Amino acid sequence: MYILGADALGRSMVARLIVASQNTMAIAASAVAFSMIVGGTLGLISGYSRSWISGAIMRFADIIMSFPSLLIAVVILYIFEPGVFNLVLVLGVTRMPIYMRTARAEVLEIRERLFVSAAYVMGASKFRLIGRHIAPLVLPTLTTIATLDFAFVMLGESALSFLGIGIQPPEITWGLMVAQGRNYLQSAWWLAFLPGLFIMFSTLSLNLLSGWVRIALDPVQRWRLEVNGGNNE
């Protein structure tokens, strides 16, 4: 239990790292799910609708995009209470624009494809066109982004927790562990170092994974994986 030592209050480092990983992952997963579902839906609507709603949704995305997400999060968490629910909400909202923009761009392209016209000519309703013909083609792209975004959200959460406006003690996440360990930098450097290392390895793995997913999904690029796999020195 104490392979990696203990913190200032004598709590096992290993145990705390594990509990923190659960919290970090759960918060990141919920935030990503939130932004993918809400952002993706808004993007689909914005791409399909030809009315003013489309423009309004994109301006909304612009507003969120234009301002530093950390600053927005800081202000919102200052005004409201910094709790798990608000944290997820803030992280989710600040990451929404990427889904909105991507989904919209994809829809704008896909809706012009002939099979959508073909379905329309058959008399397909709006819901069928979006649900059966457009959304299934947008989903893989959004999933790829979500993998990458998971890493980004983890970094965002840990930064907020580090600044003291994310998760509040006695709850624990990796970011908060780095913040708490900072006070013992000279006597017990690993208290801050290890949780940070964990964050980096997790985000790095996610980044690599998303890169491979993207290549594997692209028929034009797929040969690279196979050729490299074939004659790996």
Partner 1 sequence: MHKYLTKRAIHSFLSLAGLLVLVFFLARLTGDPGNLYLPIDATLEARQEFTKKHGFDDPIYVQFGRYVSDLAQGNLGDSLRKQRPALDVVMEAIPVTLSLAAVAMLVALFGSIIVGSLAAYRPGGVFDRISSISSLAGASAPDFWVAITAILIFSVTLQWLPTSGMGGPLSWIMPIAILIIRPFGLLVQVVRGSMLTVLSSAYVKTARAKGVKESAVIFIHALRNAMLPVITVAGDQAAGIANGAVIVETIFGWPGVGKLMIDSIIQRDFAVVQTSILVTAIVILSINIVVDITYAILDPRIRHK
Partner 2 sequence: MSDPKVPVLSVRDLAVAFHTGSGEFDAVKSISFDLHRGETLAILGESGSGKSVSSSAIMGILDSPPGFIRGGTAYLDGENLFEMSQTARRNLMGDKIAMIFQDTLAHLNPVYSIGWQISECFKVHRGFSTKEAWGRAVDLLEKVQMPNAATRAHDYPHQFSGGQRQRIMIAMALALEPEILIADEPTTALDVTVQAQILNLLIALRNESNMGLILITHDLGVAAEIADRLIVMNQGEIVEQGLVHEVFAKPKHPYTQRLMNAIPGRGPYRDLVVSDEIAKPILEVRDLTKHYAVSSGLFSNSTNSIVKACDGVSFDLHKGETLGIVGESGSGKTTVANMLLKLVEPNSGTATLDGEDIFSVTKDRLLLLRRRFQAVFQDPFASLNPTMNVFDIISEPWRIHKDVMAKDRYRQRVLELLDAVGMVADHIDRYPHEFSGGQRQRIAIARALALQPEIIICDEAVSALDVSIQAQIIKLLGELRDEFGLSYLFIAHDLPVVRELSDRVIVMKAGNIVEQGTVQQIFEAPKNPYTIDLLAANPIPDPAQMMARRTARGIGI
**List of residues contacting partner 2 (CB under 8 A):** 113-115, 117-125, 128, 132-133, 136-137, 222-223, 226-227
**CA-to-CA separations, 104 to 40, 69, 93, 100, in angstroms, rounded:** 8, 21, 17, 6
In the list partner 2, partner 1, none, the entry touching 228 (Cβ below 5 to 8 angstroms by class) is partner 1
Using the contact rule CB under 8 A, the part of the chain among 1-9, 35-43, 77-85, 102-110 near partner 1 is 77-85
Measured from the CB atom, is 15 or 118 closer to partner 2? 118
Q: Cα dihedral angle (193, 30, 62, 156), rounded to 10 degrees? A: -10
Nearer to partner 1, 48 or 152 (CB): 152
Beta strand extents in 168-221 (DSSP E only): none
Shortest distance, position 123 Cβ to partner 1, whole Å: 37
Burial of 70 (0-12, 13-18, 19+ CB in 10 A): middle
Query: Does the protein bind partner 1 through residue 1 (CB under 8 A)?
Result: no
Separation CA 76–CA 63 (nearest Å): 15
- Cα 179 to the center of its chain, rounded Å: 22
Interface with partner 1 in residues 127-166 (CB under 8 A): 151, 155, 158-159, 162-165
From the list 59, 122, 170, 233, which residue makes contact with partner 1 (rule: CB under 8 A)?
A: 59
Kindly give, in sequence order, each residue whose CB lies less than 8 Å from that of residue 95, ignoring residues fewer than 6 positions away.
31, 32, 35, 39, 69, 149, 152, 153, 156
Decide whether 3 or 114 has the Cβ nearer to partner 2. 114
Minimal distance, residue 202 CB to partner 1, in Å = 8
Q: Which of the listed partners (partner 1, partner 2, none) does 40 bind, with a CB threshold of 5 to 8 Å by partner kind?
A: none
| Cα–Cα dist 225/80, whole Å | 48
Closest by Cα among 195, 209, 213 to 155: 195
Q: Which residues bind partner 1 (CB under 8 A)?
A: 59-60, 62-63, 65-72, 74-76, 78-80, 151, 155, 158-159, 162-165, 175, 178-179, 182, 185-186, 189, 192-193, 195-197, 199-200, 203-204, 206-208, 211, 224, 228
